[in-house]
Amino acid sequence: MDAEVMKRQFLEHTEIERGRAVKTIENYDRYLTRFFAYAQIKDTSDITEEKIREFRMWLNRQPGTANASMKRRTQNYYLIALRAFLKFLRKRDVQALSPEKIELAKLPERSLDLITPLELNRLLEAAEGDDEKSLRDKAILELLFSTGLRVSELCSLDSDLDLSRDEFSVRGKGEKVRVVFLSDEAKSAVKAYLKARKDMEEALFVNIPAKTKEGAPQKRTASRLTPRSVERMIKIYAAKAGITKKVTPHVLRHSFATDLLSNGADIRSVQQLLGHASINTTQIYTHVTDSHLREVHKKFHNRRS
């Protein structure tokens, strides 16, 4: 079967029927195209274990960041795309290599970028002032910590958010809908920001035109904030709060999850609140629930009489 034709069908199936994000489709296309070019794949029957092994060796020798070779995690992205493609072929009854033949490289356990509760408080308090921009930034910080939203989910919110309730639905990865909950602080911050807004944009969070030297707003149309803009904003407030670690919107998502777990929430509930498709993804936070081990060690180890 023509490999390019099947690749196109696979990408269309992944986007339309499986509802994956456009960015995921673009990445799958790039990974498969690179493999096809290197291994000279014309027909699906050309995909063999030997060609995949050679491709993996080639990937491992490609340059990555800081003059190092390509990271294993990045190499695995290629293999995940290829494995998904082979699974698609099997469902379509196309004779091809079994996807089970592809094993991913083992990775070291992920480490979490975390900030302490004191640093978190300083960050949440860093956006002070009653001007529109400060109120917007305060609302963003409080909302991220209250809900555990991904930055892309935050940026997709519209201003018709129902603040009469303590919860709202959000559409996350894979078009899956989940419910997130608002703290009193987050609700108050969003209300204050909406009251101060002067634009009529549909988006909840918009950029705010800078002032001219005379103090009048620049004539520039407000537009929906991008994830990159939120990342830059949080970086500025982290520096203002005296936090030397790298702080991103995802760090606030980590803080949301660890705060829940350290206060007794079960891992399955946290999985649902974060919108993780697999419990394995949520397992990176279990170090929090293991904190009692320190006390066990102190209490029972090396108690010499």
**Could you read off the pLDDT of 22-62 as tens digits, one per residue?**
888 999 999 999 999 999 999 999 999 999 999 999 988 88
The mean pLDDT of 255-272, rounded to a whole number, is 86
Domain ranges of the chain: 3-101, 117-285
Backbone angles phi, psi at 230, to 5 degrees: -65, -40
CATH pick for 117-285 out of 3.40.50.920, 3.30.1860.10, 3.30.2420.10, 1.10.443.10: 1.10.443.10
Backbone angles phi, psi at 2, to 5 degrees: -60, 120
pLDDT score for 105: 78
- Catalytic annotation present for 191: no
pLDDT reading at 231 higher than 60 = yes
pLDDT score for 30: 93
Exactly one of 136, 138, 150, 187 is catalytic; name it. 150
Give the count of alpha carbons within 13 A of 81, CB side only: 22
pLDDT score for 287: 66
Contact 155, 172 (CB under 8 A): no
Domain 3-101 has CATH 2.50.20: no
Exactly one of 90, 178, 250, 287 is catalytic; name it. 250
Exactly one of 34, 51, 173, 287 is catalytic; name it. 173
pLDDT score for 85: 93
CB within 8 Å of 256: residues ≥ 6 apart: 144, 145, 146, 147, 148, 273, 274
pLDDT score for 145: 92
Using CA atoms, how far apart are residues 251 and 144, in angstroms rounded to an integer?
Answer: 10
pTM for this prediction:
0.69
- Catalytic annotation present for 187: no
pLDDT reading at 177 higher than 60 = yes
pLDDT reading at 284 higher than 80 = no
- Catalytic annotation present for 38: no
CB within 8 Å of 13: residues ≥ 6 apart: 88
pLDDT reading at 181 higher than 70 = yes
Cα dihedral sign for 203, 204, 210, 215?
Answer: positive
